[in-house]
Structure 1
């Protein structure tokens, strides 16, 4: 039968694989949040630029149809910006959940690693005790043979 530390090592390996998957999920989730933030910055800059163009066009006396096109496009950009902000909130919530999952997986790996170390330490102590017992028995046998 396998030693306790070897059996625990299998569980530790499974926990490490689970943590590795959690690492990948965490990285992907963080990347989505970062991408959302970058897209929001781009949309905000685009909206501000287009609003300036709209104001400039209004000052230059463009026709109503041209101003309506600007207004329509500004509304579309604002809608896209709101949708992106909603996506960011959802992805930030997901990131929080993924971070909790990662923390749990990391804790399991640390706990299993400590258990494996403890089991190996106990096994070493038991082996040392058996060896000492054998040495004591041999010493007794040598003494009894000389007496």
Structure 2
């Protein structure tokens, strides 16, 4: 039969693999949120620049059909911004869930490592007791020459 520490070590290894997987999920989720923020900034900047250009052209005079097309384009950009913000909200919520999962797997790993360490310590203590018992028994069997 395997030692308790060996069995615990297998469970600790499994917990380590789950933690590495959680690390990857966390990194991916954080990267997604970072990309979302960068994309949002780009979209907002593009919209501001386009509106500024439109205002500049408007001062010089713009045909009604061009103004209507520009307004429709701006509405599409604003719609895209709304959709992107919704996606960002979902990704942030997912990040929170992944962070919670990561904390759980990290806690589980630490618990398994502590249990494995305790099992090893107990096995060492038991081995020392057995060795001391064997030494005590042996010393009782050997009679001193003066008796």
Q: Distance in 2 between matches of 1:84 and 1:131?
A: 69
For residue 54 of structure 1, report the CA deviation from its aligned partner: 1.3
- Residues 81-123 of structure 1, C-alpha deviation per residue, up to 9 Å, x if partnerless? 1111111100000000000000000000000000000000000
Residue of structure 2 in register with 1:2 after alignment: 2
| Aligned pairs, number | 147
Distance 1:143 1:79, change over 3 A: same
For residue 62 of structure 1, report the CA deviation from its aligned partner: 1.1
Residue of structure 1 in register with 2:34 after alignment: 34
Q: Aligned-residue CA RMSD in angstroms?
A: 1.1
Larger relative contact order (C-alpha < 8 A, sep ≥ 6)?
Answer: 2
**TM-score, normalised relative to structure 1:** 0.97
Residue of structure 1 in register with 2:83 after alignment: 83
**TM-score, normalised relative to structure 2:** 0.97
Residue of structure 2 in register with 1:98 after alignment: 98
Q: Distance in 1 between matches of 2:143 and 2:55?
A: 108
Gaps of 5+ in 2: none
Alignment of 1:1-147 (within 5 A): 1-143=1-143, 147=147
Q: Distance in 1 between matches of 2:146 and 2:90?
A: 84
On the 8 A contact 1:36/1:88 being kept in 2, the answer is yes
Gaps of 5+ in 1: none
Bigger drift between 112-121 and 58-67 goes to 58-67
Q: Distance in 1 between matches of 2:90 and 2:146?
A: 84
For residue 145 of structure 1, report the CA deviation from its aligned partner: 7.2
Q: Distance in 1 between matches of 2:43 and 2:5?
A: 56
